[in-house]
Structure 1
């Protein structure tokens, strides 16, 4: 005959019941995560950042870190190369500008030197004088007396020359007469840069025109025997005006300008 033990407040649970309750409690704790948090923290559910206010720390593997480092190094290298290229371009531009300035300065110096040389040559030509016929000599002097001349005396000097000998302008000036001159035959009169005049007579050929400028030594015609002459030669006069009768001593005139006659 089985006996049943009545339950009541005054009775403790049996051993079996206590064990069953303990097992049920452990199961409940495991199910809710409390036991898991205490027994195995790695498996416990982590609370959200909003709940804790803490910043989570993420741990990555070595291979990923190496890859990130490699990317960073590559980016730095690319930036360094770009900076070096930029500096090289800037240096090249500065060099090009400097070379251009140097070229301009050198070209300016060359132009200035040429301009100075041209001015010096111009001054030389303004002041330079030559004999009207190269390698010749005076065959008839100034103011020589003879019935051959209407004034009774020679108004110029004669240079010995055969027909066709080159006749040169004695200095720089402008042609004011070029053509027939009566007793002078074919003649040329030049107004010199110093304001005086020179005349070349008895020419066989005239090689310049009125208004043309000439320089020392420029061929202006050929000697001959045109006009009132006894033979070929060059009649040369120095004058204060283009007109006949304003003659001055041509030998003194040429010598005053450095010409040895």
Structure 2
């Protein structure tokens, strides 16, 4: 076996060798956790005696290794905690976003539902208002139709009433004919007809017209003259009382006074004349006049 140096004691490792050994030992410990392997080169003997142990720096290497391991573990724990915290924060943010999105969706849904209900209510109110308006319009139209029908019915009833003629004395009969001669009349003949009637018998207008004279009429006593709607005139004489006034309109059968014996009269009766004007002497046959208007006499 060859040696590169003289036999005898081993030389003390140089600084570089020690440093290398220390570094190697540290690396070995860091990699495997084995301490004894590093010290083995320092135990070599020379000759028969033992050389004092050299300071290999093992203790420093072990102490340095524990510190590094602790720092590495602490750093790993810190990084793990930071990762967990970051993950938790990220999850919390995601949960918050999801909750916010859920609340926003609920608010939007609620707003849409409220809007839908409001629109439905508005449509319902509009429909009800339109229905009410239609009902009111229909009621107005019905009232108008009813009014028109009533007016037509009234007019229909009024026409025959206004055009109808009646006898001036209900149930009476003619006691003196038209143009009867005698000294009782200044003209020498009777200008009208006399209806038999006791004093106070109701005297009626024979048709519709307007009163043109009401009161004292000389030889006729209390009398009424009516201008009929057809343009003719009728006269009612010797009344005990007058019940109408000038300008008043009368209808067929309306009471205008009571029979009597006022004026140039020989007893209670009604003198009735038909004329073409209000003046004396324009007389026409009263019987023919009444019969031409449907009065049976």
Normalised by the length of structure 1, the TM-score is 0.79
Structure 1 residues 5 and 86, CA, compared in 2 at 3 Å: closer, same or farther?
Answer: farther
Q: How does 1:94-105 map to 2 (within 5 A)?
A: 94-105=130-141
Q: CA RMSD in A?
A: 3.9
Q: Deviation of residue 59 (structure 1)?
A: 3.8
Q: Which residue of 2 aligns with 1:6?
A: 15
Structure with larger RCO (C-alpha < 8 A, sep 6+)? 1
Q: How does 1:205-244 map to 2 (within 5 A)?
A: 205-244=241-280
Q: Which has the higher helix share?
A: 2
The answer to whether structure 1 residue 175 and structure 2 residue 184 are counterparts is no
How many residues are paired up?
A: 249
Structure 1, residues 168-191: CA drift from partner, whole Å, max 9, x if none?
111111111111111111111111
Q: Deviation of residue 74 (structure 1)?
A: 5.5
The runs of 4+ residues in structure 1 deviating greater than 6 Å are 60-73
C-alpha separation in 1, matches of 2:94 and 2:164: 100
Q: Which residue of 2 aligns with 1:140?
A: 176
Normalised by the length of structure 2, the TM-score is 0.70
Moved more, 241-250 or 62-71: 62-71
Q: Which residue of 2 aligns with 1:53?
A: none
The answer to whether structure 1 residue 164 and structure 2 residue 173 are counterparts is no
Gaps of at least 5 residues in structure 2 are 1-9, 31-63
- 1:16 alignment partner, one of 2, 13, 26: 26
Structure 1 residues 116 and 5, CA, compared in 2 at 3 Å: closer, same or farther?
Answer: farther
| Structure with larger Rg | 2
Gaps of at least 5 residues in structure 1 are 47-55
Q: Deviation of residue 112 (structure 1)?
A: 1.5
Q: How does 1:58-97 map to 2 (within 5 A)?
A: 58-59=94-95, 78-97=114-133
Secondary structure of the structure 2 residue equivalent to 1:14: helix
